[in-house]
Amino acid sequence: MNWEIQLEKLVRTETEIDARDVWNTSTDYIPFNYRFEHTKSVVNTARYLQRSEGGNYRVIVAAAWLHDIAKRFDMKDEPGPHHGILSASRATEILKTLDFSGEEVEWIHEAIERHVGLFADDIKRSLEADIIWDADKLTKVGAVSIGHAFSIAPAFGQVTTEGMIQRGRNWLQVIEKTVSAFKTETAKRIGRDRMAFLAGFYDRLGREYKMEDDDASGN
């Protein structure tokens, strides 16, 4: 079986366990598997960035599939190593069972371990690791981020339109700093465009919801 198909199957299986906990269900029906959908989006984005920026395809795509393999929704308050370190270690174990060289595994380990964080830092990364950092963050900006946020929100309590608008506007203030920290030129360009889209979307959503002026009509 192709290694990409194997990694996708593995990630889907493991993220479904976490998704069942999030949605508090033991059935096969999972309303939205956020961790898998996020990972798949990171993989798609990483492939695109690799075509534009270069770098080792196998390293980039394998790291994208496994970058959050040890991450769970309930990890935030747990002490100990962050999910980048845990995921890098788990990825190394997984990749040893596949056709990856020792050097490739080292590069993948680095890319996964160093993808954590939303803001600029002074960590030196390889091109492959830069692409994983950017790909992970790009999925949190733009239309995909809206779809993911709205889909997972009901798992954590009641959802209201006003609440979605406020959370979106709060997120804009955070992610603006992230976009300014993108490593590759391709991600910087895409990030600026997506930021403009997000700002316009939440502004429009707020105006349509309140219907306080003529602009909200769409004319």
pLDDT at 120: 87
Question: Phi then psi for 117, rounded to 5 degrees?
Answer: 115, 155
pLDDT at 58: 98
CA 36 to chain centre: 10
Residue closest to 66 by CA, chosen among 137, 120, 14, 119: 14
User: Can you give the pLDDT of all 219 residues of the chain as single tens digits?
Assistant: 799 999 999 999 999 999 999 999 988 899 999 999 999 999 999 999 999 999 999 999 999 999 999 998 765 655 556 899 999 999 999 999 998 999 999 999 999 999 999 998 989 999 999 999 999 999 999 999 999 999 999 999 999 999 999 999 999 999 999 999 999 999 999 999 999 999 999 999 999 999 976 665 555
Gap between the Cα atoms of 47 and 35, Å rounded: 18
pLDDT at 73: 76
Half-sphere exposure of 110 (CA within 13 A, CB side): 16
Tokens 């370190």 — which residue?
Answer: 85
Residue closest to 111 by CA, chosen among 89, 78, 88: 88
Gap between the Cα atoms of 201 and 147, Å rounded: 12
Task: Supply 177's token pair.
Answer: 């700093």
Gap between the Cα atoms of 13 and 131, Å rounded: 25
Q: How far apart are the first and last CA of the chain?
A: 53
User: Per the CATH hierarchy, to which homologous superfamily does domain 3-217 belong?
Assistant: Hypothetical protein af1432 (1.10.3210.10)
pLDDT at 217: 58
Residue closest to 84 by CA, chosen among 106, 121, 110, 58: 110
